[in-house]
Every structure is written in C-alpha cells, then in structure tokens.
C-alpha cells in the first residue's frame, strides 16, 4: 500500500519525535496539530480493522507512542463522528464471543477489562438474542459428544469446563440435563 508524501513525511517525523512526551514543538518542529493528525490516522487505521472501545483505542494509541495531549481530542472527534462507539463495540464483542462458545460471565469479565460500563454490558447481554442454556448445551456437546456424563467425575469435569467458558450454574445444570439427586452415590 502506497502512502502519500505527506503521510510518509509525517510518519517519519512522528517516529523521530517519540519519547519527548511534550506537547510543544519538538526539535523536529512537530506542532500539536500534526501530532493530533498522526494520532487520528493511527486510530482510523485501527478502526478500519475492527470495532474498538474508547479505552482500548486510547491504550493502543499510547502504546504506539502518541502523546495524551494528542489522543484526547482525537477520541473526542471520533466519538462525535460516531467512528468509535462503546455500544457498537460491545454488541459486536458479545455476538462474536457467544459464537465462539463463551458464556455471559466470561464475556462480562472481558468487557470490564476493556473499561466498559456495567450498564452497557447488561444491555448488550440482554439484547443478545442468545439462549445461554442452549449455548452451554451446544458447547458441551461439541467438546464431549452427545452422550450425557455417566459418572460423577465426568459430570464434574464437564461442569468445570463450562464454568471456565463462562456459564452460570443454572446454565451448566441445563446443559447437563440431570439432577444431582438422580445420581446414585457409591455406598
């Protein structure tokens, strides 16, 4: 992919100015508007690949060496233009991870690590059109086959697996389709 001369020159100057951490023009003559433009270019490139949460995008821009003074106005502009949206990110995240066989508890924990508010997570999980009990059953069958566990040890193993995947105890019981009382305990 070919870049225009402006972007190539800007990229070179931004790379050379990293590490200064100041918002004033550096020794290469980089002003705050150029720093913001470089951060915006990086942010748009990241958003072109997939949705990002605002905090996730902030962390990635910092890791690429952009100054906080350049990142904050860029994120404000991108949010105003609706190019970055936590709601859209959460909806996409929930759908993708549910399709991968993860349960709501694990999805919630991962979204919290991304800096998403609990209210947004709750709304997305409620609107996910996913029967989590059926999802747990499908995940169990994919891993262990259609036969129900025939021993307490096997049942415990499958329950631990589903718990690791992020399903609640009610969803795990539904997936295993058996009461604990129906098991005959060794005497």
User: How do the domains of the chain map onto residue ranges?
Assistant: 5-80, 86-126, 132-182
Q: Domain 86-126 belongs to what architecture? A: Orthogonal Bundle (1.10)
| CATH number corresponding to 132-182 | 1.10.10.10
Question: What's the token pair of residue 37?
Answer: 């433009």
Q: How many CB atoms lie within 10 A of CB 45?
A: 9
- The model's pTM: 0.71
SS3 59: helix
For the stretch 144-186, pLDDT in tens is 999 999 999 999 999 999 999 999 999 999 999 844 444 444 4
Q: Which residue has the higher pLDDT, 81 or 1?
A: 81
Question: What's the token pair of residue 104?
Answer: 């709501």
Q: Which residue has the higher pLDDT, 15 or 53?
A: 53
Is residue 54 scored above 60 in pLDDT? yes
Separation of alpha carbons 187 and 177, rounded Å: 24
Burial per residue of 90-113, b for 16 or more beta-carbon CB atoms within 10 angstroms, e otherwise: bbebbeebbeebbbbbbbbebbee
Mean pLDDT computed over 110-129: 92
Question: What's the token pair of residue 151?
Answer: 């021993």
Q: Which residues contact 174 (CB under 8 A, 6 or more apart)?
A: 133, 134, 136, 137
For the stretch 57-113, pLDDT in tens is 999 999 999 988 999 999 999 999 999 999 999 999 999 999 999 999 999 999 999
pLDDT at 177: 84
Half-sphere exposure of 175 (CA within 13 A, CB side): 32
pLDDT at 160: 96
132-182: same fold as 86-126? yes
């Amino acid at each position: 992919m070919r870049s225009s001369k402006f972007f190539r020159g800007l990229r070179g100057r931004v790379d050379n100015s990293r590490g200064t951490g100041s918002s004033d023009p550096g020794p290469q003559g980089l002003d705050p508007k150029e720093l913001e433009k470089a951060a915006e270019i990086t942010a748009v490139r990241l958003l072109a690949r997939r949705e990002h949460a605002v905090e996730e995008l902030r962390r990635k821009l910092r890791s690429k060496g952009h100054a906080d003074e350049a990142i904050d106005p860029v994120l404000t502009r991108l949010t105003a233009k609706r190019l970055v949206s936590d709601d859209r990110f959460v909806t996409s995240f929930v759908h993708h991870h549910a399709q991968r066989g993860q349960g709501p508890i694990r999805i919630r924990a991962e979204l919290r690590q991304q800096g998403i508010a609990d209210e947004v997570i709750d709304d997305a999980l409620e609107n996910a059109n996913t029967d989590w009990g059926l999802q747990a059953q499908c995940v169990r069958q994919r891993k262990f086959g259609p036969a129900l566990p025939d021993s307490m040890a096997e049942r415990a193993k499958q329950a631990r697996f589903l718990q690791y995947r992020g399903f609640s105890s009610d969803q795990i019981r539904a997936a295993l389709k058996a009461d604990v009382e129906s098991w005959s305990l060794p005497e």
